[in-house]
């Protein structure tokens, strides 16, 4: 495989990872907001409860797609296991997916092109 | 890295992957069983005073299926004969009466009207309510049914009216306010009305728990995949190193 083909493969994988990082992160924030409303602010609203739990279920499935995109980039870049764990945690810890995604994008952009 | 350490790393990754996959599998199995047994109609919780689970004129929600004790006086208003039911294969008529719950039991300090499903009789053999006066009874809250137009223009037995539904919002139109929003199915019945047999546990699938079960299994599969990939890559690198 020549370098341009490999590069475009990495670029595609990174783009998919980026989209999923943003979508997963957004859903996670919605779930977090719902949980805070219920358990911190003490809002008792069955509608909010049921909307939150459905968003949580959808987030779970998006998270699985997100993991697939993480693994794809991770395999292509031949990173270590720790990096994969950090990327996966992005789908569970609020805001983390945005931060990790930015860091990875910067790091890959800074890599010397062969 | 030496060959033995490399082998140890591969085994370690394999064991870790299997452990995570097993944990995910077990969590998925737990959700799977939950999705099947959650929908029991009569809750196993002990019998408690009515005020502990439901207040008059508030949404029934979590009270449905709970067993409660209550005392009050049968109201001097029309009872309802609900037609079109079936009990143990017999066409049945179900008696629903208004119980004025004692003011000190409602939790609000004022009395309130509780629709009580007293019991059933064969449809051909409908009769009038029998008990009068003050009673203490136990029962469980049923889910309220939707209001439906009254069916039968035929004259009902004295002191009753026909209906096809057990709907507190419909009963509220001719029973005194405030009303409880869910009907209580009595365990005792009365002299001429047999208590409804408790409904069998419903084996409804709960899709939320089912979705969680599938997600856990997907995570387990994911862990196995990553472990397999890491083991393969480790093996490959070490093989390459040995060649060069």
Q: Do B215 and A53 touch (CB under 8 A)?
A: no
CA distance linking residue B220 with residue B28, whole number of Å: 9
- The tokens for B42 are 């009569």
Q: Is B148 helix (H, G, I), strand (E, B) or coil?
A: coil
Q: Do A60 and B212 touch (CB under 8 A)?
A: yes
Q: Do B229 and A71 touch (CB under 8 A)?
A: yes
B113 phi and psi angles, rounded to 5 deg: -95, 125
Contacts of B222 in chain A (CB under 8 A): 64, 67, 71
B241 phi and psi angles, rounded to 5 deg: -65, -35
Contacts of A75 in chain B (CB under 8 A): 229
By DSSP bridging, strand B184-186 and strand B112-122 are parallel
Residue A107 pLDDT > 60: yes
Residue B208 bridge partners (DSSP) = none
CA distance linking residue B48 with residue B105, whole number of Å: 11
Report residue B202's pLDDT band, with 50, 70 and 90 as the boundaries: low
Mutation test of the interface with chain B: which of A60, A72, A78, choosing the one with the most B Cβ atoms within 10 A? A60
Higher pLDDT, B23 or B65: B23
Mean pLDDT of chain A: 88
Tell me which DSSP letter residue B41 carries: S
Lowest mean pLDDT among A96-110, B72-86, B223-237: B223-237
- Number of helices (H), then strands (E), belonging to chain B: the values are 3, 8
Q: How big is the CA angle at B10 (ends B6 and B11), to the nearest 5 degrees?
A: 115
| A64/B contact by beta carbon, under 8 A | yes
Residue B192 pLDDT > 90: no
Q: Do A64 and B215 touch (CB under 8 A)?
A: yes
| A57/B contact by beta carbon, under 8 A | yes
pLDDT at B41: 66
CA distance linking residue B50 with residue B66, whole number of Å: 9
pLDDT at A78: 86
pLDDT at B244: 40
CB A24 within 8 A of CB A62: yes
pLDDT at B243: 46
Q: Is B70 helix (H, G, I), strand (E, B) or coil?
A: strand
* Helix, strand, coil tally for chain A in percent (to 5): 80, 0, 20
Residue B93 bridge partners (DSSP) = B121
What does the DSSP assignment read for B178-231?
Answer: SB-SSPEEESS--SSSBPPPPPPPP----HHHHHHHHHHHHHHHHHHHHHHHHH
Residue A1 pLDDT > 70: no
Mean pLDDT of B165-192: 89
User: How close A88 comes to chain B (CA, Å)?
Assistant: 11
CA distance linking residue A89 with residue A95, whole number of Å: 10
Mean pLDDT of B3-11: 84
pLDDT at B1: 57
Tell me which DSSP letter residue A2 carries: -
Residue B125 pLDDT > 50: yes
CA distance linking residue A8 with residue A2, whole number of Å: 10
Q: Do A60 and B211 touch (CB under 8 A)?
A: yes
Q: What's the number of CA atoms in the CB half-sphere (13 Å) around residue B126? A: 22
- For A42-55, write each residue's pLDDT tens digit: 887 778 888 888 89
Mean pLDDT of A84-99: 92
Mean pLDDT of chain B: 84
pLDDT at B6: 82
Q: Which residue of A has its CA nearest to B211?
A: A57
| A58/B contact by beta carbon, under 8 A | no
Q: Do A46 and B61 touch (CB under 8 A)?
A: yes
Nearest to A104 by CA among A5, A6, A7, A11: A11
């Amino acid at each position: 495989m020549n370098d341009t083909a490999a590069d475009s493969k990495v670029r595609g994988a990174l783009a998919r990872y980026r989209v999923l990082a943003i979508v997963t992160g957004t859903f996670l924030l919605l779930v977090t907001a719902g949980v805070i409303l219920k358990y911190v602010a003490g809002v008792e609203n069955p509608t909010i409860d049921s909307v939150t739990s459905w968003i949580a279920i959808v987030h779970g499935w998006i998270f699985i797609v997100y993991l697939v995109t993480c693994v794809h980039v991770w395999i292509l870049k031949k990173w270590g296991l720790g990096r994969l764990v950090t990327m996966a945690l992005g789908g569970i810890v609020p805001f983390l997916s945005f931060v990790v995604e930015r860091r990875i994008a910067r790091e890959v952009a800074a890599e010397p092109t062969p | 890295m030496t060959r033995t350490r490399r082998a140890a790393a591969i085994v370690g990754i394999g064991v870790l992957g299997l452990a995570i996959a097993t944990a995910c599998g077990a969590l998925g199995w737990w959700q799977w069983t939950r999705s099947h047994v959650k929908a029991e109609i009569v809750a196993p919780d002990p019998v408690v005073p009515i005020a502990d689970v439901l207040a008059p004129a508030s949404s029934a929600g979590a009270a449905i299926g709970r067993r409660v004790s209550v005392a009050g006086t049968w109201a001097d208003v029309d009872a309802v004969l609900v037609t079109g039911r079936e009990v143990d294969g017999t066409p049945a008529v179900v008696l629903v009466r208004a119980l004025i719950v004692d003011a000190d039991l409602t939790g609000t300090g004022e009395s309130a009207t509780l629709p009580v499903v007293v019991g059933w009789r064969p449809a051909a053999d409908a009769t009038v309510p029998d008990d009068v006066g003050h009673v203490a009874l136990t029962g469980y809250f049923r889910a309220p049914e939707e209001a439906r137009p009254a069916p039968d223009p035929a004259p009902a037995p004295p002191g009753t009216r026909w209906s096809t539904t057990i709907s507190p919002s419909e009963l509220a139109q001719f029973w005194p306010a405030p009303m409880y929003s869910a009907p209580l199915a009595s365990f005792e019945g009365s002299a001429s009305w047999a208590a409804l047999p408790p409904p069998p546990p419903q084996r409804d699938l709960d899709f939320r728990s089912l979705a969680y079960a599938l997600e856990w299994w997907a995570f387990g599969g994911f862990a196995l995949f990553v472990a397999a990939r890491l083991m393969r890559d480790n093996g490959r690198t070490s093989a390459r190193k040995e060649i060069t």
